[in-house]
Amino acid sequence: MDEFIDFVRGGPLGPIKKWGTRWSLWPVHLVTACCGAELAHAFACGYDGERIGALNYGIARQTNLIIVEGAITRKMARVLRVTWEQMPDPKFVIVMGACGLEGGLFWNGYHLVKPSDVVPVDFFIPGCPPTPEALLRGIRQLQDKIVTGEAKTSATFSEIMLEQGRKPRVLPKSPKKVSKAPAVLVNVPKQVEWEFGEKLVEELKAKIDAKSITITGKNRIAVKVERDYIPKAALKLRDMGFDHVKNVNVVDVPNEDKFIVEYHFSSYSVKELMPVVVNVFADVPRDEPEVKSLAKIFPSADYLEREMHDFFGVVFEGNPWTGRKFLLAPDAPEYPLRKDFKLEKEVYVR
């Protein structure tokens, strides 16, 4: 069998095989991130990648090329590897986008891996996103590599010699100012002209047993309640005409040893309430982060709660997915959005 492979590759048929591979580089369709938008442009009528023999193909079993389109997450890395392993020999990999090189805009994200750690990469195409021209140029370079056997960069720059005896540059300080003891308030009152809002606040005060109700802006009301009272408040709001949850948010405040759990309610069915967003929030102690889930009352809150459980480890009692990861990869770090999970800091380098 090995003899046969050697014959096909190096024998008199070798050039024909190379020629065939070169002009039929159909990349497998594995869209991994947003660079896929430019990839689609490269194979649509504007740039027409098909004229150089490349066109996206549905399954990996009949392709030689995989184009990694941007960021590879921990969850996607496994899929990339599986797809790459499915491809027949020879296998080529082109990585497009800055995220695929060193992470780009997301370089210290907790959910990102480098594609070069997962599969052997032949060509990188920088850019965020790279233009279709750049992608097609990458494919042309790969075609050259198939013939000549060596990967060459298509962009060359003239070399500039470093000056000898130059003084070391003084690096600037980081412009960031981060408060050591931040005071986090989500219900800072704001003076706005909003008559309906004042009426609504009165109505809310009569119906909801709240600790405080403030207008935080035009069309924004913040209602502070006890954490066990959230479902009751939600039921009261539902009777008033608020029919969906727009947002579930958790804020981690380690120096006050609490989480702030917020639900943003709004309405689709009552015309006056449509622009209003009522933020019902409660303080939850950090060592026992449990609140009752609203997924049964408001199905629109279900996935948002699951996501917050992934990020902060806040337990939403009654949510069917509690205890399992929904958005994050199984091997992702635990509760990455808590403040005590630190990311690698960016520094200036020479």
By CB under 8 A, name the one of 147, 151, 171, 274 that touches other proteins.
274
Q: What is the DSSP letter of 52?
A: G
Comparing CB distances to other proteins, the nearer of 17 and 79 is 79
When asked if residue 116 is in the footprint of other proteins (CB under 8 A), the reply is no
When asked if residue 12 is in the footprint of other proteins (CB under 8 A), the reply is no
- What SS3 state is found at 28? strand
- What SS3 state is found at 232? helix
Within residues 85-114, the interface with other proteins by CB under 8 A covers 99, 105-106, 108-112
Residues in the chain: 350
Comparing CB distances to other proteins, the nearer of 53 and 336 is 336
| Minimum CB–partner distance for residue 328 and other proteins (Å) | 6
When asked if residue 73 is in the footprint of other proteins (CB under 8 A), the reply is yes
* Cα–Cα distance, 320 to 309 (Å, whole number): 12
Nearest to 253 by CA among 232, 294, 281: 281
When asked if residue 235 is in the footprint of other proteins (CB under 8 A), the reply is no
By CB under 8 A, name the one of 18, 52, 114, 303 that touches other proteins.
303
By CB under 8 A, name the one of 275, 296, 334, 348 that touches other proteins.
275
Nearest to 146 by CA among 69, 97, 89: 89
When asked if residue 302 is in the footprint of other proteins (CB under 8 A), the reply is yes
Comparing CB distances to other proteins, the nearer of 18 and 325 is 325
| Minimum CB–partner distance for residue 91 and other proteins (Å) | 15
Q: From the centroid of its chain, how far is CA 11?
A: 48
Within residues 125-154, the interface with other proteins by CB under 8 A covers 128-129, 131
When asked if residue 268 is in the footprint of other proteins (CB under 8 A), the reply is yes
Q: Which stretch binds other proteins (CB under 8 A): 17-25, 52-60, 88-96, 229-237?
A: 52-60
By CB under 8 A, name the one of 13, 235, 324, 348 that touches other proteins.
324
* Cα–Cα distance, 245 to 235 (Å, whole number): 12
Taking a C-beta distance cutoff of 8 angstroms, is the pair 222, 214 a contact?
yes
Count of chain residues binding other proteins (CB under 8 A): 91
Helix (H) or strand (E) holding 278: strand 277-285
Taking a C-beta distance cutoff of 8 angstroms, is the pair 100, 124 a contact?
yes
When asked if residue 328 is in the footprint of other proteins (CB under 8 A), the reply is yes
When asked if residue 172 is in the footprint of other proteins (CB under 8 A), the reply is no
When asked if residue 249 is in the footprint of other proteins (CB under 8 A), the reply is yes
The two tokens of residue 54 are 């490349």
b/e per residue, 232-269, with b = 16+ CB within 10 A?
Answer: ebbebbbebbbbebbebbbbbbeeeebbbbbbbbbbee
